[in-house]
Amino acid sequence: MKALVYHGPGQKAWEVVPDPEIIYPTDVIVQVDTTTICGTDLHILKGDVPVVTDGRILGHEGIGTITEVGRAVSKLAAGDRVIISCITSCGSCSYCHRQLPAHCLADEGTSGIGWVLGHFINGTQAEYVRVPFAEGSLHKLPAGVSDEAAFPLSDILPTGFEIGVRNGRVKPGDVVAVIGAGPVGLAAMMTAGLYGASRIIAIDLDDNRVQQAKGFGATDVVNSGGWGWKDEVLAMTDGLGVDVAIEAVGMPATFEMATELVGPGGTVANVGVHGKSVELRLQDLWIKDVAITTGLVSATTTPMLLRLVAQGRLTPEKFVSHRFTFDSILDAYDTFGRAAETKSLKVAITR
């Protein structure tokens, strides 16, 4: 088969590799119908994720059709159309038992990280992929839900919902600010309405992204390029600060923005992946009764989100900005890597 293989910082190729095979009885093999690229794949390609070594097939998102199941798999069968979750869940370790498969302790050399595909083992940017612990890691797709509506459920939709909206404890009537209107921030905006947010304020430096946010549930948009962003947001809350500030960028400056925007009793929900230490103004925050949350997505809400997609209550197909086929995956990387110029959000790459 062919796959997108990482060959060290800055090096990747769409090349012929051996077909994956069942290794453990709980594995299945999936023929990938649609996959996509995540910002994390760009970080890997820069060499920022050292556990990803030369020869690894990238990708942790996708929709596919099962071609083969291991002998311990009874709830899935060849021919099933499935969502491949970015988190692999054994279902029986202590973290899986407490609904935190982000820290699944099952093997594959991961030391407590449930994100294994395209990280510790070969991933989904390939014609076929081996999915371990398949019964806990795949979701059958109901007929009528398209690949484009479903693939955002692999990662971005549960991430924005679980780590942004749910960790942020959004309640009816809340004013929610989302810093960063990339796919993950937009996913938080799309799902904040589920808990009854009264206002959803999208904040980004990129005018195209803030404008796009209006189609994902944002009621107000703020460009944070100038000086006025803080006053603009505070004016929407009678000067008090927002109830929930969701950080969906992953930079020290944007985390600080979230702590500046949150009001007394509010929550800062950090979603961004940080590579540098961040200043925490605890001297200002303690007296405001502010809670700060962090997290790696567990994707335990995917079945619930899928029901909302099947009913047309959520429309994640809106994330698809560009379409490619597998043999043009390098063009897909180029387009996705220049998001500000190309206005890309999620690229759908199909067989």
Q: Which residues bind Zn ion (CB under 5 A)?
A: 90, 93, 96, 104, 106
Cβ atoms of residues 237 and 263 within 8 Å: yes
DSSP H stretches of helix in 196-344:
207-213, 229-235, 252-261, 282-285, 302-310, 329-337, 339-342
Residues contacting 220, CB < 8 A, separation 6+: 199, 200, 201, 202, 236
Q: Does 45 bind ligand NAD (CB under 6 A)?
A: no
Rounded CA Rg of the chain: 20
93 binds, among ligand NAD, Zn ion, none (CB under 5 to 8 A by kind): Zn ion
263 alpha carbon, distance to own chain's centre: 27
Among 72, 77, 235, 253, binds ligand NAD (CB under 6 A): 253
Answer for which of 33, 127, 206, 260 binds ligand NAD (CB under 6 A) is: 206
- Given the complex with Zn ion, which of 108 and 147 has the nearer CB atom? 108
* Smallest separation, CB 16 to ligand NAD (Å): 30
Nearer to Zn ion, 53 or 92 (CB): 92
Site string for ligand NAD, 164-193 (x = CB under 6 A): ---------------xxxxxxx--------
Q: Is 101 in the site for ligand NAD (CB under 6 A)?
A: no
**Alpha carbon distances (Å) from 161 to 127, 238, 301:** 29, 27, 8
State the CB neighbour count (10 A cutoff) for residue 21. Answer: 10
Residue 109 CB, nearest distance to Zn ion (Å)?
14
The alpha carbon torsion through 95, 180, 189, 230 (nearest 10 deg) reads 120
Q: Which of 34, 36, 40, 301 binds ligand NAD (CB under 6 A)?
A: 40
State how far the Cα of 28 lies from the Cα of 140, in Å rounded to an integer: 13
In the complex with ligand NAD, the residue whose CB is nearer, 43 or 351, is 43
| 125 scored as a contact of ligand NAD (CB under 6 A) | no
**What residue 337 binds from Zn ion, ligand NAD, none (CB within 5 to 8 A, per partner kind)?**
none
Which does residue 28 touch among Zn ion, ligand NAD, none (CB within 5 to 8 A, set by kind)? Answer: none
Our CB check for ligand NAD shows the closer of 214 and 351 to be 214
> Is the alpha carbon torsion for 339, 341, 347, 350 positive or negative?
negative
> Who contacts 257 (Cβ-Cβ below 8 Å, separation ≥6)?
179, 203, 224, 229, 230, 245, 247
Q: Which two tokens stand for residue 225?
A: 């390029």
Q: Which partner from the list ligand NAD, Zn ion, none does 134 bind, CB cut-off 5 to 8 Å by kind?
A: none
Contact between 91 and 136 (Cβ < 8 Å): yes
Identify the residue among 152, 168, 241, 250 touching ligand NAD (CB under 6 A): 250
SS3 156: helix
Closest-by-Cβ residue to ligand NAD is 182
Dihedral pair phi/psi, residue 175, rounded to 5°? -100, 125
Residue of 32, 93, 113, 297 interacting with ligand NAD (CB under 6 A): 297
Residue 96 interacts with which of ligand NAD, Zn ion, none, CB < 5 to 8 Å by class = Zn ion
Binding residues for ligand NAD (CB under 6 A): 39-40, 155, 159, 163, 179-185, 203-206, 209, 224, 248-251, 253-254, 271-273, 295-297, 339
